[in-house]
Amino acid sequence: MEDQFESRFGLRPKWRIECPGRVNIIGEHIDYHGYSVLPMALSVKTTLLVAPISQSEIRFENVDDFFEGHTECLPSNWERQMKPLWFHYLLAGWKEIVHEFGLDQKGFAILMDSSIPSSAGLSSSSSLVCAAALASLTVHTHGFPWKIIDKVRLAELCMKAEHRIGTVGGGMDQAAECLSQSGSALHISFNPLRCESVSLPSHCIFVVADSMERKNKAASNDFNSRVVEGRISTALLAKGLGIEKWKDMKTLKDVQEESSFTLEKLIEKCNDLPEQLNVIQVRELIGDHFDAISTQDTVENSSFTIRARAIHVYSEALRVQLFKVACFSEDINEMARLMNDSHSSCSQSYECSTPQMDKLVSSLITEGGALGARLTGAGWGGCAVALFHSDYLAKGDFPSHLNILFHSKPAEGIAIVHL
C-alpha cells in the first residue's frame, strides 16, 4: 500500500491510520435514545495512508479503482450531499475537526483501503469518518494528535461528523471504533460517554454471517424515519405521563429519567400510545414541535409507526442490562435467548430486518448450530451475528449458503502508526 501511495502521489506516506469495524452484539437502534449498547471492535478495518502536501487541496485516492479519486480544492465549504460518495465520509470527518478546532485548511493526500464489507452493518461508514478525523488531526499536529485530544473526545466529535452525512446516529459506532481494547467487548453508555470492558465467557465465540443484501442507510430515509418515530414517541409518552416540559424530552431515556419508571413499567405504558399516525395526526397531537424533531427527509412521510418503536427501544435497553449480567455469570444460554429476542423485536417491532435476513438468522440456529443469532448494525440487510459454544464451532465447516465471513475476535480501537 505504501508503494501505491508513492506511485499515485509522488511522495512517501508519513502516517498510517487504522480504524476497525464493529459488530454490535446486542442493543440495536437504542444508542440515539440514550441507552447503553454492547458492541466489540473487529479485526477488519479501514486503513488510511496520509502525507501533507504543499498544494491547497485534499487529494483522495482509493486502492480499489472502482472508486474514483477526488481532489477537494481549499478553502472548501463542503456540505452534505444527498447521495454520499465514498470520499464524502472522509470529508465529513475532516470538516468536523477543522470546525471544532478552528484550524487552517492544510493540504494533504490520502490513500484509502478497507477490509470492512460495505453497507453490511459492520460500520464501514463510521470507520471512514473516524479514520479521516484522526488523519486530519494528525496532519495539523504534525503527527501528534493525542496531545490535543483523547479518544473519548474523538469519538464524540466523530458522531457529530457523521451527522454531516445525514445519518443521525447516537454514537455507538464511533465509541466502539475509537475506544475498544483488544480481547473485550464494550458496554457503552452515553451522555456522558462512558465505556466499561466486558469479558465474554471463554467457552463462547461470535460468528459474523452475510445476508448478501446491501443498503446505504444514508441514501434512504429508513434510518432517519426510525429516529423521528422515536422522537414522536418520546413527545407523546411524556405528554401522556403528564410531564410538564414534555417538549424538552429529547429521547425515550429522558422520559424514563423524568418519570423514574423502570423499563418494565415503561413497556406497559407504551401500550397507551397510538400504533400509527399520519403527519396531520402528529401535528394535531404535538403541534409545531413536529418541525423541531423531524428531519429534512422525513417531513413528508405518509405515516409514522409509534407504539411498536417505543416498545422495541425500552425492551432492547432491558435486554442489554440482562445480557451484561449473563456475561458476568457466564450464562451462555441466557445470552443466546436475549439475542434471539432482540432479533424478533428488530424484525417485528422496529421493522429493520428483511425476509432474507430473517431466514439467515433462523438458519444459523437450525442448520449452523448457533445458540442464538440476530441482525447487527442498522439492518435492512447486512450481517448477522451468531453465538456459538466454542466446542461446537471446532467440529467442522458451516453450510456454504450461510455465508460465514469470519469468527470474531475483539480487536483494538483506532490507532496511528508513524511510518
What contacts 64, CB < 8 A, 6 or more positions away? 113
Q: Which of 31, 113, 173, 358 is an active site residue?
A: 173
- CA 52/CA 38 separation, integer angstroms: 37
Reference 293, options 228, 344, 380; nearest CA is 228
**Local structure of residue 192 (DSSP, 8 states):** T
Residue 80 cell numbers, joined: 452534505
Reference 285, options 248, 250, 251, 238; nearest CA is 238
- CA 210/CA 354 separation, integer angstroms: 13
- CA 294/CA 88 separation, integer angstroms: 24
Helix (H, G, I), strand (E, B) or coil at 212: coil
List phi, psi (to 5°) of 124: -65, -40
Helix (H, G, I), strand (E, B) or coil at 319: helix
* Secondary element (H or E) of residue 44: strand 38-52
Active-site annotation holds for 288: no
The answer to whether 58 touches 166, Cβ cutoff 8 Å, is no
Helix (H, G, I), strand (E, B) or coil at 102: coil
The answer to whether 153 touches 133, Cβ cutoff 8 Å, is no
409: left (phi over 0), alpha (psi -120 to 50) or beta: beta
Catalytic residues: 173
